Amino acid sequence: MEKLKICIMGLGNIGLSVAVYTRRYFPSTSGYDINEQAVAKALNNGIKASTFPERADVYVVCVNTYYRNGTPDMTAIDSCCRMISALNSEALVCFESTLAVGTARKMALKYGLRYVAVCPHRWWEEDQQNHGVRQLRVLGAFDEEGMQKAEKFYNKLKIPLHQVSSLEVAEATKIAENAHRYVEIAFVEELKLIAYKNGLDFDEWREAINTKWNVNLLEARDGIGKECLPKDTAFLASLSTEAELLRGAIKTNENYIQHFSKQSKPYYEQPSLLHLTKKHSPQR
């Protein structure tokens, strides 16, 4: 068991799971969240938690990020980094939140954070046994010293790693993973729209298509909702004006929801994400 003090910033579903898991290996694990209910839930799960973060040797940032007003919103990330800088700028800062590409480097330089790494979570609520905190992760760091510290920390947690050359590759990997899933689902949604307009039995059609050895079409359900997939697809599309496939998938999902879903609109507030342009790309 290690004596390092670890602070988990953000105690939502993911952050709380990270805190509970981390405490097995680092007893001096604490948690921070601005939400008093999240703090109370962490306390009930045996985690020392507060609405004020403690000074620590390692900060694991698990706060939510958003896509708002046509651009990635990293406000919560900025707030965490400002507090970390005031508490211990020499601490290892591990971002497990989904970040717009360029965010971690920007935060490191803005707040003078010495050791910064990006190790995005792949946590899945529906199967935490196989896809919980402990699973293969991508790891990128600000520099070699940061990489060594982050690798040592995650090795203590027994989390397998795939190292990449930069913070930006790690950030981009996370959003591309979820955008890939988004496109997969949107393709099936488009097939269902085509079937509807041409009098085809979609379920029969999908079953027939899936008999091919290298095809495995997903189900078409109620549209792509919740938060992660739409947000991360928007993050990725905002990096380039040429992301036409992603914009097409977004439009397909919006059309599908209008035709088939009981939802009145996707999770995001604005009616469409199709206005995405390169000007919304995060600053490097």
| Same-domain pairing of 134 and 12 | yes
Distance (Å, rounded) from C-alpha 255 to C-alpha 199?
18
42: domain CATH number?
3.40.50.720
Q: Place 273 in a pLDDT band, splitting at 50, 70 and 90.
A: very low
Are residue 32 and residue 131 in the same domain, yes or no? yes
Q: Which residue has the higher pLDDT, 241 or 268?
A: 241
Question: Are 251 and 187 contacting, i.e. CB atoms less than 8 angstroms apart?
Answer: no
- Please report whether residue 245 resides in a domain: yes
Comparing 262 with 125, the larger pLDDT belongs to: 125
Q: What is the pLDDT of residue 130?
A: 76
In a domain, 132, yes or no: yes
What distance lies between CA 136 and its chain's CA centroid? 15
Distance of alpha carbon 63 from alpha carbon 32, whole angstroms: 10
> Both 77 and 143 in a single domain?
yes
- How far from 268 is each of 99, 178, 231, 234, 250, CA to CA, in Å? 17, 16, 8, 10, 12
Number of domains in the chain: 2
Tokens 């790494």 sit on residue: 117
The residue out of 165, 191, 224 marking a domain boundary is 165
Q: Confirm whether 1 is domain-assigned.
A: no
Domain that holds residue 270: 175-280
Average pLDDT taken over every residue of the chain: 90
Query: Are residues 32 and 144 located together in one domain of the fold?
Result: yes
Asked if 158 and 30 sit in the same domain, the reply is yes
pLDDT value at 268 more than 80: no
The rounded distance, in Å, linking the Cα atoms of 170 and 37 is: 31
Provide the pLDDT for residue 262.
Answer: 58
Same domain for 158 and 39?
yes
Give the global pTM. 0.88
Which pLDDT band holds residue 281 (cuts at 50, 70, 90)?
very low
- What CATH code is carried by the domain that includes residue 217? 1.10.1040.10
Whether residue 191 is found in the same domain as residue 229: yes
DSSP 114: S
Residues 159 and 180 in one domain: no
Q: CA separation (Å) from 271 to 70, 250, 251, 255, 257?
A: 11, 11, 11, 11, 12
Is 232:168 a contact under the CB 8 Å cutoff?
A: no
Q: Residue 96 belongs to what H/E stretch?
A: none
Residues 70 and 127 in one domain: yes
Residue 281 and residue 237 in contact, taking contact as beta carbons nearer than 8 Å: no
Are 131 and 223 in the same domain? Answer: no
Residue 170 belongs to a domain: no
Whether 159 and 195 share a structural domain: no
Mean per-residue pLDDT, 18-28 = 96
Are 27 and 114 members of one domain?
Answer: yes
Q: How far is the CA of 202 from the CAs of 122, 136, 271, in angstroms?
A: 31, 36, 27
- 6 by DSSP, 3-state: which? strand
